[in-house]
Structure 1
Amino acid sequence: MAPAYFPMDESYLVGGWLASFFWGLYTLLFGASLRLIYQRRRQGINMFTTLSIVLLYVLATAHVSLILVRLIQGLILYRDTIGPIAFFANVSVRLNVAKDYIYITSLFVGDMVVVWRLHVVWGKNYWVSVLPTIMTFGELISGYGSVSHYLLPDPTIPSTVPWGIAMFVMSMATNIIVTSAIASRIWYVYITMKPKAMGLQTSNRYTRVLLLIIESGAIIAAAKITEFTLFRLAPDDGNGMNALYIVFEIMPQITGIVPTVIVYAVNSGYTQHEDTYT
């Protein structure tokens, strides 16, 4: 049986199209979220969360812009000279390096938002958030280390693999651990307060919060697991299964959309009107 094959240029093209599609949805959601935050400004604004979703949107916009520029270069400008596959395979191109730095930064900010949510839900207990914070900074350092290899005189993809594995593993572990800790805390508060004493409406809100946290965490975890799996399947020479780059291109959009959905849900009244869950 022949090994799976997915061309690199096709992967980047599909990834760019999906990234543009998700960016359009993200833009609508981001605008709606800011509108709700502005309308509820007198009730207080969670500055950390608000600034985080703004930063995530800026990073996602910059990332998708570089994707489109790179597609134009690889598929049109250098099509007859370098060739699309050779162009996209050259990871040391400065445009690609800048795009990857933005990608790593977006993952870091997204994970820090999740860690902040853990910190708040657990009553601002610093000890609970120490390990996830260290892991998140480890993810950032590993990611920057991987991308920085592209700036060496003779960069090779195999030299970046250990750094990439470390980044993916820490990011996945952080999201799974933190989401589980947040969900368990909310569930504990829910069962200790006794639903009958809280009333049906309050009980339903806790259930909604719990489901929202679990579902959003599951989406991010699934995306990261898929990304890591494809990373391990990606060939060093570009000849083989290159579907990884589809996920690479859309991750900054997913990373920004998920926390923005939570902010929108909270400010639209889907959950309790508190900053505890935002």
Structure 2
Amino acid sequence: MSSSSKIPPLDKIFLIGLWIGVVLEVQSQQQSCASCHLAPVVQVCVTIHVSTSLRQGLEAFIYTPPGAGPDYASLYFAQEGATLAATKNGLYTTAVFIQDLLLIWRMYIVWTRNWKIIVIPLGVELFHMGCAYAAVVILTQPDQSIYTAKITTLGSLGWPLELVVNARVTGAIASRLWYMGRVVSRAAGTGSTGISKNNAYTGPILTIIESWAILIALTFVMLVLYKAGNPAALMCTDIATQISALVPYLIIVRVGLGLTHTLPNAYKSYKETNNLRSLGGSSGMRFAPNRLFGIGTKTSQSGPPQVAVTISETITSTANDENIVLS
């Protein structure tokens, strides 16, 4: 490898990406035990990816040949078609692909397993992956870089499609939850007292949007850096690979730890009022009956039927609803 004064500081860029990737990999491993049923292939991909990055670090900074110049590490990382670099690109593409499929699957479940709703997102995702894998293969050929004509065309198609799939599918999930939450709230709010309730699924909606917004924002940053010709776009792929595995786990872990927008207060209230369950209906909060459900009502000759609902029962039901929706 010959030295060049025009080469960017790829050694520093990739070293930063490596360290961030290792930190995210540790976090992903710690959370995977809580969600081991979700996309184990993604976990394998990101583990191999960070191992490959560590091997690159050894070859660039430790196993240097005799007489290597000061720019050796940067020149090493500039070989975008090398075996280790191509392996990492393939793992990144595969991890993102599985993450997108998982997101589409969740939309399929939320939309009552209606296969028609996933036809367009799945088609767009397959086209996106075709562009991504084609770019990985072309990049391994001689005299190719991420800014040659073919790669630029594929990159300009691939990353925008990634943004479209994540944003539109996340929006479809959130809108469906919002609609169903309105239906549930209206049903729970009917009765003689005219009680109105907030959307029942506000917490799950915000949790899903916030969790997937991390990957959407990172993909947008990668696209901007790539179009601007900034070599830091390559470093972002190391981070995005780990994020693609962390985001699905993040939703489950947030619910399990009570870190959503509604569960912390619910858990606190549950602990404070847990003893109300043993006191019977007289100690609970009384609400107007839900005419759609004939459970737990009692009839009185002097007034409308009433239903006794304890605080702890309400909070337990809310927590169960959020776990069902988000998992």
Query: What TM-score comes out, normalization by structure 1 length?
Result: 0.82
- Greater RCO (Cα-Cα under 8 Å, separation 6 or more): 1
Q: How much identity, in percent, do the aligned residues show?
A: 27
Aligned twin of 2:289 = none
**What is the one-letter code of the residue matched to 1:193?**
V
Name which one, 1 or 2, has greater alpha-carbon Rg. Answer: 2
* Higher helix proportion: 1
CA distance in 1, matches of 2:199, 2:176: 16
- Aligned pair count reads 251
CA distance in 2, matches of 1:55, 1:198: 44
Query: What TM-score comes out, normalization by structure 2 length?
Result: 0.70
Deviation at 1:242, TM superposition (A): 2.0
Preserved CA contact (<8 Å) 1:121 1:182:
yes
Over aligned residue pairs, what C-alpha RMSD do you find? 2.4
Deviation at 1:129, TM superposition (A): 0.7
Aligned twin of 1:169 = 160
Deviation at 1:276, TM superposition (A): 4.3
Deviation at 1:6, TM superposition (A): 6.0
Preserved CA contact (<8 Å) 1:56 1:256:
yes
Aligned twin of 2:308 = none
Q: Secondary structure at the match of 2:178?
A: helix
**What is the one-letter code of the residue matched to 2:105?**
W
Quick check: 1:277 aligned with 2:272?
no
Aligned twin of 2:217 = 222
Deviations 1:17-52 (Å, cap 9, x if unpaired)? 110111111111113444xxxxxxxxxxxxxxx241
Q: Decide whether aligned partners of structure 1 residues 152 and 6 sit closer, same or farther in structure 2, where only a CA change above 3 A counts.
A: closer
Aligned twin of 1:113 = 102
Aligned twin of 1:76 = 62
Preserved CA contact (<8 Å) 2:80 2:140:
no
Deviations 1:63-101 (Å, cap 9, x if unpaired)? 111011011111222365371111111111111111110
Quick check: 1:257 aligned with 2:259?
no
Point out 4+ residue stretches in structure 1 off by more than 6 angstroms: none
Deviation at 1:198, TM superposition (A): 6.7
CA distance in 2, matches of 1:162, 1:103: 19
CA distance in 2, matches of 1:274, 1:198: 23
Q: Decide whether aligned partners of structure 1 residues 33 and 268 sit closer, same or farther in structure 2, where only a CA change above 3 A counts.
A: farther
Deviation at 1:135, TM superposition (A): 1.3
Consecutive unaligned residues in structure 2, runs of 5 or more: 1-6, 264-318
Deviation at 1:156, TM superposition (A): 3.4
Deviation at 1:219, TM superposition (A): 1.4
Preserved CA contact (<8 Å) 2:97 2:129:
yes
Deviation at 1:164, TM superposition (A): 1.5
Deviations 1:176-203 (Å, cap 9, x if unpaired)? 1001111111001111222570799x96
Deviations 1:144-184 (Å, cap 9, x if unpaired)? 10010123243233131111221101111000100111111
Q: Secondary structure at the match of 2:144?
A: coil
Deviations 1:189-239 (Å, cap 9, x if unpaired)? 111222570799x967622111111111221211111111111122xxxxx
Preserved CA contact (<8 Å) 2:185 2:199:
no
Deviation at 1:122, TM superposition (A): 0.7
**What is the one-letter code of the residue matched to 1:138?**
F
